[in-house]
Amino acid sequence: MLELTRTARKTINKAMKTPKQAVILAAGLGSRLAKTSDDVKPLKLVGGMSLIQRNIQLLANAGIEEVIIITGYHADVLEATLRHDCRNIPVKLTFVFNPEFRKSNGISVLCANESIHGNFILTMADHIFEPEMIRKAAAIIPPKNGALLCVDYKLDQVFDMDDATKVRVRDGKVTSIGKQITDYNAVDTGLFICTPTLFSALQQAADASPKQDCSLSEGIAALMKTGRMHVQDIGELTWQDVDDDMMLHQAEIMVEKLGA
């Protein structure tokens, strides 16, 4: 009988574990919601708490031990504010600066590569989630060498479908994704459970670009082509992307309704 080496055993154990780290993308300009050059979109308040602090708190409540925040625009303000505001949240905060924050969001994800040691949750600083969504995501083991996207099939309840990232799902896997696709049956909620293989997929997409640029959707598409991009239905749970004033107002309504 073959005996596994310590390295092989460690690799298998990592692959079988629920995520203990999370990555939050917070590097972009957020110009549709941030009205002046001094505004920092992730720090916009919803229900008395900033968008990003709310997600950090939910991740900590779900058992996540480290949150890696990818910064860019106004990185110093964001880090200083969060270190103060989150000082009583029992989670390790790690800040990673993306000097190319004006590029697509896939580059921000790649900045987390060296900080990730196993399966992880990936989300955005400007999304609001029902707490149960985060709790369930933190209890999921992602597919081997792949990733899982939480999707919403409640298309009639999506607040701004024009701005949403649409997804075509078949047999539990993503077959198409993008804001402009016309054949879709679900919407991307901005919440992922990933293995480190996502970084390889993103790097592949960036290397294929003349400008060494790539979006997260392009990385997902690379996993999709090999059948490794799975989905998780959020059912009746709710979420909200917050890109402009109308979406911010909708997020306020959602938080008030949930009492969260």
Q: DSSP readout, 15-82?
A: HTSPP-EEEEEE-S--TTT--STT--GGG-EETTEEHHHHHHHHHHHTT--EEEEEE-TTHHHHHHHH
Place of tokens 């939050």: 24
Over residues 198-244, the pLDDT tens digits come to 999 999 999 999 999 999 999 999 999 999 999 999 999 999 999 88
Structure-block tokens of residue 235? 């059912």
Domains of the chain (ranges; CATH) run: 18-258 (3.90.550.10)
pLDDT level of residue 19 (50, 70, 90 thresholds)? very high
Q: Number of helices (H) and strands (E), helices first, in the chain?
A: 8, 13
What's the length of the chain? 260
- The encoded tokens of residue 166 equal 């649409």
Per-residue model confidence as pLDDT tens digits over 89-133:
999 999 999 999 999 999 999 999 999 999 999 999 999 999 999
pLDDT of amino acid 9:
44
